[in-house]
């Protein structure tokens, strides 16, 4: 087994994705992997019986995987994987700043915007000296925890460090491609949730493979346009974080955003439902539209997203939605 620099790994967040990735890395005997969580009941069951009773009650975790609520575990962390919601990342990092070494590598798993509607790596760079990477790809936590081979794109500005970090995942069920287009990876992870809602609406209302992949292609092209407008690289569309993650999110019923689209298409969507369910796609859509419109980009470059806004606002009926999508 190849030795790596990042032997001490802390996964912040013991929810489904944090537990799954931590469990995958724990198979390597040369790594020390800890889950850091505020959920004391989760920590207790992991430590006592090696089971996360809340998120994976039927899965026995690797015995090397530890769990703790003590921030001091960060003091020796060489890699910190952030598996908490995007809107909580900056407040969390500020809270643990005194425990976080300046050279710890921060890897963001969250999909969404941070403070002031900035991309999360930009938020972190504005306040912390740490190297920052993103890890995004077509990945359901329940598949990872069952040891299914799963792909991610690791992105960061330091290509040499990217190669070293990639080696951390060797010998696990996690397979990595890399890019230095961290901005592109982040924006694609947000866009795929928005366009998955659109595919869900189309599928629920028509259930037509021909129409599904017509709209899928239009959505993919629109994502490409917006990626470029945000300064991302076109080739990132063909990393795991691009076509792979979009396909998984848009076409698989385990996806929350596709499920929202299905509810809308079947006529079950209400403002009450949307207010109670945290869905990255709906929240991020407003941020992106405001940004694109404020910069004067033509509406034809984000036509599908603009039509989806009409559905959410109630100004457009679902029955009219697909016809509007087909017009451009």
Q: Which of 178, 124, 169 is nearest to 150 (CA)?
A: 169
Residue 5 appears among annotated catalytic residues: no
Planar angle of CA 236, 239, 240, nearest 5 degrees = 135
CB 11 within 8 A of CB 37: no
Please, what is the angle between helix 209-229 and helix 318-326, to 10°?
Answer: 70
Indicate the SS3 state at residue 56: strand
In this structure, the number of other CB atoms found within 10 A of the CB of residue 291 comes to: 15
SS3 content of the chain, % helix, strand, coil (to 5): 55, 15, 30
Residue with tokens 């995007």: 86
Task: Please identify which of the residues 7, 97, 170, 192 carries the catalytic annotation.
Answer: 192
Measured CA to CA, the distance from residue 82 to residue 11 in angstroms comes to: 6
Ranges assigned E (strand) in the chain? 8-12, 32-36, 51-52, 56-60, 66-68, 79-82, 105-108, 132-136, 150-155, 174-179
Measured CA to CA, the distance from residue 241 to residue 247 in angstroms comes to: 10
Name the residues annotated as catalytic.
192
């Amino acid at each position: 087994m190849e030795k790596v620099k990042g032997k001490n790994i802390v996964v912040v967040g013991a929810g489904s994705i944090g537990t799954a990735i931590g469990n995958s890395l724990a198979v390597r005997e040369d790594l020390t992997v800890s889950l850091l969580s505020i959920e004391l009941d989760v920590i207790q069951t992991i430590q006592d019986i090696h089971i996360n009773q809340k998120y994976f009650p039927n899965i026995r975790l690797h015995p090397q995987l530890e769990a703790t609520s003590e921030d001091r575990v960060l003091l020796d962390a060489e890699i910190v994987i952030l598996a908490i919601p995007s809107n909580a990342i900056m407040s969390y990092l500020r809270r643990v700043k005194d425990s976080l070494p300046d050279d710890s590598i921060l890897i963001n798993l969250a999909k969404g915007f941070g403070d002031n509607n900035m991309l999360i790596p930009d938020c972190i760079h504005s306040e912390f000296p740490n190297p920052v990477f993103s890890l995004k790809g077509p990945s359901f936590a329940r598949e990872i925890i069952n040891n299914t081979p799963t792909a991610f794109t690791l992105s960061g500005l330091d290509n040499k460090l990217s190669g070293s970090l990639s080696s951390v995942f060797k010998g696990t069920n996690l397979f990595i491609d890399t890019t230095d287009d961290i901005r592109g990876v982040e924006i694609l992870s947000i866009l795929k949730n928005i366009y998955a809602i659109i595919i869900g609406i189309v599928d629920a209302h028509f259930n037509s493979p021909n129409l599904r992949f017509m709209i899928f292609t239009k959505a993919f092209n629109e994502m490409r346009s917006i990626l470029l407008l945000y300064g991302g690289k076109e080739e990132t569309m063909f990393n795991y974080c691009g076509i792979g993650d979009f396909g998984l999110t848009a076409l698989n019923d385990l996806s929350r955003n596709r499920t929202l689209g299905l509810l809308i298409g079947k006529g079950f969507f209400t403002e009450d439902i949307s207010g109670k369910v945290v869905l990255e796609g709906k929240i991020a859509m407003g941020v992106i539209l405001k940004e694109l419109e404020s910069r004067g980009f033509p509406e034809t470059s984000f036509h599908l997203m603009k039509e989806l806004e009409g559905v959410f606002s109630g100004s457009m009926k679902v029955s009219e939605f697909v016809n509007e999508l087909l017009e451009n």
